[in-house]
Structure 1
Amino acid sequence: MTDHHTYGTSTHTADELAWLVSDRLGLVFTERDSDYRGVYHLASSPNGRIEIQPNPIPGDDGEDDLYAPEHSSAQVLLLTTTTPTPDPALHARLGSLEGLIHLNHETA
């Protein structure tokens, strides 16, 4: 089973959120650059991964598109993927970060 959570913030930039989450969880984020997603941050743990993604991403037409248009009010997204079981402690620690709001949960 795979557990996916989406968080969002308009309080922090992607760089600030990566630093805050790194400090809170003791993870090391690496900056990645993708033609599709733009610049994002990735950290892996034994149980899954955390990605910090700006919601506005460079579009093909020179205009920004939204990575998650259903969460248009969030400027930065934090995406978690955990396997094989959910990690309630992880979500409790993320939920304690000021300005970070839980937006969505899916299980596949």
Structure 2
Amino acid sequence: MTEYTTYGTRTHSASELAQVVTSSLGLAFVERDSDYRGVYYKADRPDGRVEIQPNLIPGDDGEDDLYASEHPTVGVLLLTKNSAPDPVLQARLESIDGLVLLDRKSW
């Protein structure tokens, strides 16, 4: 069963959050630039990945769109994909000041 989680923050920029998560979890993020997602940060883990990106992403019409439109006030998203639930990762992410769990799905 794969678990997907979405966290959000209004406190940190994407690059700041990548630094905070690196300090907290020891992950090595790589900055990526995507036409679809804009600049985002990705770190691979043995059982999954963590990605950090702005909620505002470049739209096809030249206007920015929300990646997570159900959370319009959230400026930055942290997305995880794990091969199984990881309570240690969850606890560490939830202990980061200003980072809030928005959604968790498993299938």
TM class by shorter-chain length? over 0.9
Separation (CA, whole Å) in 1 of partners of 2:42 and 2:6: 14
Matched residue of 1:74: which SS?
A: coil
Paired position in structure 2 for 1:80: 80
CA offsets per residue over residues 3-47 of structure 1, 9 Å max, x none? 001000010000000000011000000001111111100000101
Separation (CA, whole Å) in 2 of partners of 1:81 and 1:43: 11
- TM-score, scaled to structure 2: 0.97
Percent of residue pairs bearing the same amino acid type? 62
Summarize the alignment of residues 1-108 of structure 1 with structure 2, pairs less than 5 Å apart: 1-83=1-83, 85-108=84-107
| Deviation of the 1:78 alpha carbon | 0.2
Matched residue of 2:98: which SS?
A: coil
Q: Relative to structure 2, which stretch is displaced further, 58-67 or 42-51?
A: 58-67
- TM-score, scaled to structure 1: 0.97
* Number of residues of Structure 1 aligned to a counterpart in Structure 2: 107
CA offsets per residue over residues 46-66 of structure 1, 9 Å max, x none? 010000010001112221100
Matched residue of 2:4: which SS?
A: strand
**Structure 1: which 5+ residue stretches go unaligned?**
none
Matched residue of 2:91: which SS?
A: helix
Matched to 2:3, the amino acid is: D
Separation (CA, whole Å) in 2 of partners of 1:40 and 1:72: 18
**Structure 2: which 5+ residue stretches go unaligned?**
none
Separation (CA, whole Å) in 1 of partners of 2:47 and 2:22: 16
| Deviation of the 1:68 alpha carbon | 0.8
